Amino acid sequence: MKKLRAIYFWTPGLSAEILKYLLGQDQVDIVWVVTNPDKIGGRGHQVMSSSVAQLAREKNLNLLQPEKIREETFLETIRALQPDICLVVAYGKILPQVLLDIPPMGFLNVHTSLLPKYRWAAPIQHALLAGEKKTGLTVQQMALGMDEGDILVQESWDITPEDTTGSLFARTGERGGPLLVETMRGLIDKTIIPIPQNHDEATYTKMIEKKDGELNPAWTLDEAYHAWQAYTPWPGLFILYGDTKLSLLKIKKMTNDEWRMTNDRLFIRDKLPAIALQDGYIILEEVHPAGKKPMTWEEFVRGFMK
């Protein structure tokens, strides 16, 4: 396989893990990294860089952080670099056709679901919310429509009851790089045949917001548990306990009819803190009251519950 000149369009932490892998591969030469501009925020209004920007600076990689990717100056810069291929994951901006047409091998997108399911935002979280038994990665040839391009390679794995968004992000970070290299090799060797998506089977998702993590007493046990999986580590599954936001770090489902209640009030039974739902209750094994340190259920019952 010849060494491909590639430009890397990525932003989130997952992207940094895949970039680290690609930098160690002989098949690809990352000639430039494109990521979102630095922001001013946090305490003290400090400059905040994406993990990809931080890694690019650490490795002395050429870095572009355009405000607008449709401007001719940016497009001319990309043309002048003469990339063979461009690699994208969760860049967060819709790429115009004039940009997609620049590299001869096009743009490859690593999408964190088994397309055509879960197009658009937060596919891992939405797969967990839906109680899917499997998830995985899709490498697709990018098209103008969001996540509508042909499927090139897919890899799937089981979702276990212990999985959360955090653990699945770690798994996709580990597998994204090797899958990209496999795809590029297959395109060069002409062993990969692009598969058009069945758009009738597509599902579309929305961005996750902080408020989504508040536990709804109308949920079933499964809905609450899937929400815990999806919202761990962010925004976290939580309840309001008095004036305190109580994040539920670790929970367990129980279905004992004797414990079933008709409201969402936190209660104690057999020394265990629990919350009633429609078809059972959840035990709070580890919690984090806002402004306090994380607590085991024993610490919470002994020192915090009123």
Same domain (yes/no): 94, 176:
yes
Between CA 298 and CA 284 the distance in angstroms is 10
pLDDT at 264 over 50: no
Amino acid letter for position 176: G
Taking Cα atoms as reference points, which of 132, 95, 96, 97 lies closest to residue 113? 132
Where is average pLDDT lowest: 72-81, 175-184, 264-273? 264-273
Between CA 214 and CA 276 the distance in angstroms is 14
Same domain (yes/no): 271, 241:
yes
Same domain (yes/no): 153, 197:
yes
In this structure, which long-range contacts are made by residues 286-293, counting pairs with CB atoms below 8 Å and at least 24 apart in sequence?
A: 286/249, 286/250, 287/246, 287/247, 287/248, 287/249, 288/236, 288/246, 288/247, 288/249, 289/241, 289/244, 289/245, 289/246, 289/247, 290/244, 290/245, 290/246, 290/247, 291/244
Same domain (yes/no): 55, 136:
yes
Same domain (yes/no): 30, 47:
yes
The encoded tokens of residue 147 equal 């996540």
Structure confidence at residue 1 (pLDDT) = 63
CB of 268 within 8 A of CB of 274? yes
The encoded tokens of residue 235 equal 């925004």
The encoded tokens of residue 55 equal 């890694």
Between CA 248 and CA 300 the distance in angstroms is 11
- Mean pLDDT over 224-235 rounds to 97
Same domain (yes/no): 27, 52:
yes
Domain with 50, as residue range(s), is 4-205
pLDDT at 27 over 60: yes
User: Binning pLDDT at 50, 70 and 90, where does residue 41 land?
Assistant: low
Q: What SS3 state is found at 231?
A: coil
- Averaged pLDDT score across all residues of the chain: 90
Quick count: other Cβ atoms within 10 Å of Cβ 48?
12
- Percentage of the chain lying above the pLDDT 70 cut: 93
pTM: 0.92
Same domain (yes/no): 135, 254:
no
Strand partners, 6: 30, 85
CB of 145 within 8 A of CB of 199? no
- CATH number reported for the structural domain that contains residue 16 in this entry: 3.40.50.170
Where is average pLDDT lowest: 70-84, 228-242, 261-275? 261-275
Same domain (yes/no): 200, 58:
yes
Q: What SS3 state is found at 156?
A: strand
Same domain (yes/no): 26, 48:
yes
User: Binning pLDDT at 50, 70 and 90, where does residue 262 land?
Assistant: very low
Same domain (yes/no): 88, 145:
yes
- CATH number reported for the structural domain that contains residue 299 in this entry: 3.10.25.10
CB of 24 within 8 A of CB of 17? no
pLDDT at 153 over 50: yes
Q: Which residues contact 113 (CB under 8 A, 6 or more apart)?
A: 119, 123, 124, 126, 127, 135, 136, 137, 138
Nearest-10 Cα torsion for 199, 145, 165, 110 = 100
- Mean pLDDT over 20-31 rounds to 94
The pLDDT tens digits for 79-115 are 999 999 999 987 878 899 999 999 999 999 999 999 9
Same domain (yes/no): 187, 222:
no
CB of 236 within 8 A of CB of 273? no
The pLDDT tens digits for 194-209 are 999 999 999 999 999 9
Overall domain count for the chain? 2
Structure confidence at residue 6 (pLDDT) = 97
- Among 183, 205, 227, identify where a domain stops: 205
Same domain (yes/no): 104, 229:
no
- Mean pLDDT over 207-230 rounds to 95
